[in-house]
Amino acid sequence: MVMEVIIIGIIFGSIFGVFYLYYSTRNKERLALIEKGADASIFMKGKQHITPIWKVLILNFALLLMGIGLGIIIGGIVKENLNVDAEIAMPGTIFLFAGLGLFFGFNMSKNLDKD
Protein backbone atom coordinates (compact mmCIF):
# COMPACT_ATOMS: atom_id res chain seq x y z
CA MET A 1 0.00 0.00 0.00
CA VAL A 2 2.82 2.39 0.84
CA MET A 3 4.61 1.73 -2.47
CA GLU A 4 1.54 2.68 -4.49
CA VAL A 5 1.25 5.99 -2.65
CA ILE A 6 4.95 6.71 -3.17
CA ILE A 7 4.77 5.89 -6.88
CA ILE A 8 1.68 8.07 -7.40
CA GLY A 9 3.40 10.88 -5.50
CA ILE A 10 6.49 10.59 -7.69
CA ILE A 11 4.41 10.63 -10.87
CA PHE A 12 2.41 13.72 -9.87
CA GLY A 13 5.54 15.40 -8.53
CA SER A 14 7.32 14.83 -11.82
CA ILE A 15 4.41 16.23 -13.82
CA PHE A 16 4.24 19.27 -11.53
CA GLY A 17 8.01 19.77 -11.83
CA VAL A 18 7.94 19.73 -15.61
CA PHE A 19 5.11 22.27 -15.80
CA TYR A 20 6.70 24.46 -13.12
CA LEU A 21 10.03 24.55 -14.94
CA TYR A 22 8.34 25.27 -18.26
CA TYR A 23 6.27 28.18 -17.01
CA SER A 24 8.94 29.70 -14.78
CA THR A 25 11.53 29.56 -17.58
CA ARG A 26 9.07 31.04 -20.08
CA ASN A 27 8.26 33.84 -17.64
CA LYS A 28 11.97 34.64 -17.09
CA GLU A 29 12.63 34.68 -20.83
CA ARG A 30 9.72 37.04 -21.43
CA LEU A 31 10.79 39.35 -18.65
CA ALA A 32 14.32 39.47 -20.06
CA LEU A 33 12.99 40.32 -23.53
CA ILE A 34 10.76 43.06 -22.14
CA GLU A 35 13.67 44.52 -20.14
CA LYS A 36 15.71 44.71 -23.34
CA GLY A 37 12.95 46.65 -25.05
CA ALA A 38 11.20 43.97 -27.10
CA ASP A 39 7.56 44.63 -27.93
CA ALA A 40 5.09 42.51 -25.95
CA SER A 41 3.13 41.70 -29.12
CA ILE A 42 5.71 39.03 -30.06
CA PHE A 43 4.18 36.78 -27.41
CA MET A 44 0.76 36.82 -29.08
CA LYS A 45 1.77 35.66 -32.58
CA GLY A 46 0.97 32.00 -32.00
CA LYS A 47 -2.32 32.67 -30.25
CA GLN A 48 -4.22 34.09 -33.22
CA HIS A 49 -6.65 31.63 -34.76
CA ILE A 50 -7.86 32.44 -38.23
CA THR A 51 -10.35 29.58 -38.35
CA PRO A 52 -12.72 29.18 -35.39
CA ILE A 53 -11.81 26.15 -33.28
CA TRP A 54 -15.33 24.72 -33.50
CA LYS A 55 -15.01 24.35 -37.27
CA VAL A 56 -11.76 22.42 -36.88
CA LEU A 57 -13.26 20.18 -34.19
CA ILE A 58 -16.37 19.41 -36.24
CA LEU A 59 -14.27 18.67 -39.33
CA ASN A 60 -11.96 16.31 -37.46
CA PHE A 61 -14.81 14.61 -35.61
CA ALA A 62 -16.77 14.09 -38.84
CA LEU A 63 -13.77 12.61 -40.62
CA LEU A 64 -13.02 10.39 -37.61
CA LEU A 65 -16.55 9.00 -37.63
CA MET A 66 -16.46 8.48 -41.40
CA GLY A 67 -13.15 6.67 -41.01
CA ILE A 68 -14.59 4.40 -38.31
CA GLY A 69 -17.62 3.62 -40.48
CA LEU A 70 -15.46 2.90 -43.51
CA GLY A 71 -13.23 0.73 -41.32
CA ILE A 72 -16.21 -1.35 -40.21
CA ILE A 73 -17.34 -1.82 -43.81
CA ILE A 74 -13.87 -2.73 -45.11
CA GLY A 75 -13.29 -4.98 -42.08
CA GLY A 76 -16.45 -6.92 -42.91
CA ILE A 77 -15.36 -7.26 -46.52
CA VAL A 78 -11.88 -8.45 -45.48
CA LYS A 79 -13.38 -10.91 -43.00
CA GLU A 80 -15.75 -12.44 -45.54
CA ASN A 81 -13.63 -12.45 -48.70
CA LEU A 82 -10.12 -13.07 -47.35
CA ASN A 83 -11.17 -15.38 -44.49
CA VAL A 84 -9.34 -13.34 -41.87
CA ASP A 85 -10.43 -13.73 -38.25
CA ALA A 86 -12.92 -11.08 -37.16
CA GLU A 87 -10.78 -10.34 -34.07
CA ILE A 88 -7.97 -9.24 -36.38
CA ALA A 89 -9.78 -7.73 -39.36
CA MET A 90 -12.26 -5.48 -37.58
CA PRO A 91 -10.03 -3.64 -35.08
CA GLY A 92 -7.21 -3.39 -37.58
CA THR A 93 -9.26 -1.77 -40.31
CA ILE A 94 -11.20 0.42 -37.87
CA PHE A 95 -8.01 1.87 -36.38
CA LEU A 96 -6.40 2.20 -39.80
CA PHE A 97 -9.26 4.16 -41.32
CA ALA A 98 -9.88 6.19 -38.15
CA GLY A 99 -6.22 7.24 -38.26
CA LEU A 100 -6.48 8.07 -41.93
CA GLY A 101 -9.58 10.16 -41.22
CA LEU A 102 -7.74 12.12 -38.53
CA PHE A 103 -4.75 12.57 -40.83
CA PHE A 104 -6.95 13.96 -43.59
CA GLY A 105 -8.71 16.16 -41.04
CA PHE A 106 -5.36 17.56 -39.93
CA ASN A 107 -4.40 18.36 -43.51
CA MET A 108 -7.79 19.92 -44.24
CA SER A 109 -7.52 22.03 -41.06
CA LYS A 110 -4.19 23.38 -42.25
CA ASN A 111 -5.84 24.32 -45.54
CA LEU A 112 -8.63 26.13 -43.67
CA ASP A 113 -6.03 28.36 -41.98
CA LYS A 114 -4.43 29.22 -45.33
CA ASP A 115 -7.68 30.54 -46.82
Express each pLDDT in 22-33 by its tens digit. Answer: 999 988 988 888
pTM, full prediction: 0.57
- Cα separation values, 111 from 34, 50, 54, Å: 34, 11, 15
pLDDT in tens, 38-79: 776 776 665 555 778 888 899 999 999 999 999 999 999 999
